[in-house]
């Protein structure tokens, strides 16, 4: 456990209740944290038992755009649905993940120093307010506003963040509205992560590889520059002491979250990625794509119902919605016997953040397996978005505390 993060949380909690930190500790709802707990994974919440790897998921865990584009017919439907609807100020250059390959550097890494690769000099004369937001549908339980506002505060930036529910049919009007109302950027969640790519001027390498966009920078000339920070979020959430080089990883699901995880894992140097899905025929497009893009990695796909032994995998990643609050929170994506077949050194990574601990995570903890949940991924992708918008890195800890207090 990170003592600094814990003490900061206690101070905020005590202030909110109007009592001292000592009185809060005396109430027994919290207790001291062990100095031996690794800093990278341990999080803060109401009690020490909950203070163990509470993280959460990226917003795209539900049915994603990648699921909708598992066939050529679906791609054509998107093309027809949005053809002729581009805002007049956009000269759309459709990225490769929509209709075909483009020249792009394979598996390019970028960090906070190179994340602003598209930000042009036009921002020097940009007098707009710092207005940002989230588009997608539905957005009733989004934590994005809370997380981003905490990030703004940590940077000392006067900015606003709006939750803007946007059904697919309203996407074109929403883009026009954002540009005409002085917004500097926005995040994108389901079901708009692929359609938005039809209206941007440039896409970064991760957006191209993951075949989805979740962050957009609006330049002063109103051009749109698109990124995928989900890949960054997934990778940054993996503690540095977890070495996946030359290892095998199992991914449950083949949707958009699985695709982002796949791109991140290739950068971790994995030897093999095995996808487990309900519908193998619908995964053919994904398999062909990843094998072409990442020839140094072995890819296989299996029927998820047939999982029996996971002993060969160093990490199990759940990208399905099974376990999500309000959908299937009382279920696990794998049978307990299959989970128990993991080696004692394996890691279980569930991208779901609500509930804080899914049944899968709880079951893995009972087996004394190391776990990663989705909250860190969610916050890290928001951190990366603000790096794009401002060129500076917000305080991850402040953003996490704000998210935890919102539950």
Residues near 103 by Cβ (< 8 Å), separated by ≥ 6?
none
What is the Cα–Cα distance from 226 to 82, expressed in whole angstroms? 18
Closest by CA position to 56, among listed 407, 389, 378:
378
What is the Cα–Cα distance from 107 to 398, expressed in whole angstroms? 31
- C-alpha angle 273/277/281, rounded to 5°? 100
The DSSP code sequence of 103-141 is ---TT----TTTTTTT--GGGGG----EEEEEEES--TT
- First-to-last alpha carbon distance for the chain, in angstroms, is 20
**H helices present in 211-353, as ranges:** 230-236, 256-267, 284-293, 336-340
What is the Cα–Cα distance from 119 to 134, expressed in whole angstroms? 20
What is the Cα–Cα distance from 68 to 47, expressed in whole angstroms? 41
**286-290 CB contacts, 8 Å cutoff, 24+ apart:** 286/66, 286/70, 286/254, 286/258, 286/259, 289/211, 290/262
What is the Cα–Cα distance from 185 to 386, expressed in whole angstroms? 9
Beta bridge partners of 349: 317, 372
Catalytic residue among 13, 42, 184, 193: 193
305: which DSSP letter?
A: G
Helix (H) or strand (E) holding 164: strand 159-165
Query: Is 327 designated active site?
Result: no
Beta bridge partners of 187: 134, 215
- Max Cα-Cα span within the chain: 64
What is the Cα–Cα distance from 106 to 326, expressed in whole angstroms? 38
C-beta of residue 372 within 8 angstroms of C-beta of residue 233: no
Give the pair of three-digit tokens for residue 237. 């959430």
Could you list the active site residues?
193
């Amino acid at each position: 456990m990170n003592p600094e993060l814990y003490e900061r949380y206690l101070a905020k909690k005590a202030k909110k209740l109007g009592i001292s930190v000592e009185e809060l500790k005396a109430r027994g709802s919290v207790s001291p944290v062990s100095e031996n707990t690794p800093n990278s994974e341990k999080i803060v919440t109401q009690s020490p038992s909950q203070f163990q790897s509470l993280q959460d998921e990226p917003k795209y865990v539900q049915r994603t755009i990648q699921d909708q584009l598992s066939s050529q017919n679906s791609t054509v439907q998107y093309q027809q649905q949005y053809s002729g609807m581009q805002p007049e100020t956009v000269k759309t250059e459709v990225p490769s993940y929509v209709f075909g390959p483009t020249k792009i550097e394979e598996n390019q890494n970028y960090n906070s120093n190179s994340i602003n690769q598209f930000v042009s000099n036009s921002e020097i004369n940009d007098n707009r307010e710092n207005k940002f937001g989230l588009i997608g549908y539905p957005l009733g339980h989004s934590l994005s506003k809370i997380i981003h506002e905490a990030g703004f505060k940590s940077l000392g930036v006067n900015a606003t963040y709006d939750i803007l529910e946007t059904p697919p049919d309203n996407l074109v009007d929403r883009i026009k509205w954002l540009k005409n109302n002085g917004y500097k950027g926005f995040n994108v969640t389901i079901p708009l992560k692929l359609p938005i790519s039809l209206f941007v001027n440039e896409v970064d390498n991760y957006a191209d590889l993951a075949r989805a966009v979740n962050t957009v920078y609006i330049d002063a000339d109103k051009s749109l520059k698109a990124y995928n920070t989900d890949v960054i979020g997934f990778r940054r959430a993996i503690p540095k002491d977890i070495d996946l080089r030359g290892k095998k990883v199992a991914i449950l699901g083949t949707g958009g979250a699985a695709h982002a995880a796949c791109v991140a894992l290739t950068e971790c140097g994995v030897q093999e990625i095995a996808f487990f899905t309900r519908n193998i025929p619908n995964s053919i497009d994904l398999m062909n794509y990843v094998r072409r893009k990442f020839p140094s990695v072995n890819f296989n796909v299996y029927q998820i119902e047939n999982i029996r032994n996971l002993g060969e995998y160093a990490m199990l990643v759940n990208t399905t919605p099974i376990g999500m609050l309000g959908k299937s929170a009382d279920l696990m994506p794998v049978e307990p016997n299959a989970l128990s077949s993991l080696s004692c050194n394996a890691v279980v990574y569930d991208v779901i953040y609500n509930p804080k601990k899914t049944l899968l995570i709880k079951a893995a903890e009972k087996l004394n397996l190391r776990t990663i949940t989705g909250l860190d991924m969610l916050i890290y992708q928001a951190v990366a978005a603000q790096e794009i918008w401002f060129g500076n890195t917000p305080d991850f800890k402040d953003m996490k505390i704000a998210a935890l207090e919102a539950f």
